[in-house]
């Protein structure tokens, strides 16, 4: 009997923890108390959207010069969604990465998952995300305004 109640408690704790991680607003555990999901379906949708993007092509190696890579994305022209899931770029671990993102049609808030870096840019202006690729894996850059994946970075 004791194992059963302990297991139920553990399942409840894990369920609550996973709900906190499901929202994409940020990779951090803090949340905005002024906003709340409108329905249970919102939580399910957020969990699916927060999964890494499914890519349709192998990663293209970034041009790395002196340990640094610059990746440029124009929303609606050469981003991940527009390319049909083929805008995937790889960088070696330890690379200093600068991602320049420009949307000629709208203001944007860009977010790099895993590194939890956000930047805003006005319509036609360039937002820059800069980081050292010190974690291996797949990391999506998305628009918080449209929920679209704009770039997939693979750190190897």
Q: Are 32 and 25 in contact (CB under 8 A)?
A: yes
Taking 70 as the threshold, does the pLDDT of residue 76 lie above it? yes
pLDDT at 154 over 50: yes
Domain ranges of the chain: 2-27+38-49, 60-155
The pLDDT tens digits of the residues spanning 77-128 come to 999 999 999 999 999 999 999 999 999 999 999 999 999 999 999 999 999 9
Residue with tokens 């797949």: 138
CA dist 8 and 96 (Å) reads 45
Q: What's the pLDDT score for residue 51? A: 80
Note the CATH number of domain 60-155.
Answer: 2.60.40.420
**pLDDT confidence of residue 125:** 98
Question: pTM above the 0.75 mark?
Answer: no
Query: What does pLDDT average to over the chain?
Result: 78
Name residue, tokens 């991602």: 99
């Amino acid at each position: 009997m004791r194992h059963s109640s302990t297991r139920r408690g553990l399942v409840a704790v894990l369920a609550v923890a996973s709900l906190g991680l499901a929202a994409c607003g940020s990779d951090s555990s803090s949340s905005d108390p002024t906003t709340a999901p409108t329905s249970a379906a919102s939580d399910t949708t957020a969990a699916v959207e927060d999964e890494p993007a499914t890519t349709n092509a192998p990663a293209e190696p970034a041009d790395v010069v002196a340990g640094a890579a610059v990746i440029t994305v124009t929303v609606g022209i050469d981003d991940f969604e527009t390319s049909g899931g083929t805008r995937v770029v790889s960088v070696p671990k330890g690379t200093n990465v600068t991602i320049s993102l420009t949307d000629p049609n709208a203001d944007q808030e860009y977010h790099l998952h895993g590194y939890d870096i956000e930047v805003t840019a006005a319509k036609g202006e360039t937002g820059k995300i800069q980081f050292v690729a010190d974690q291996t894996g797949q990391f999506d850059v998305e628009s918080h305004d449209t929920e679209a994946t704009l770039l997939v970075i693979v750190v190897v």
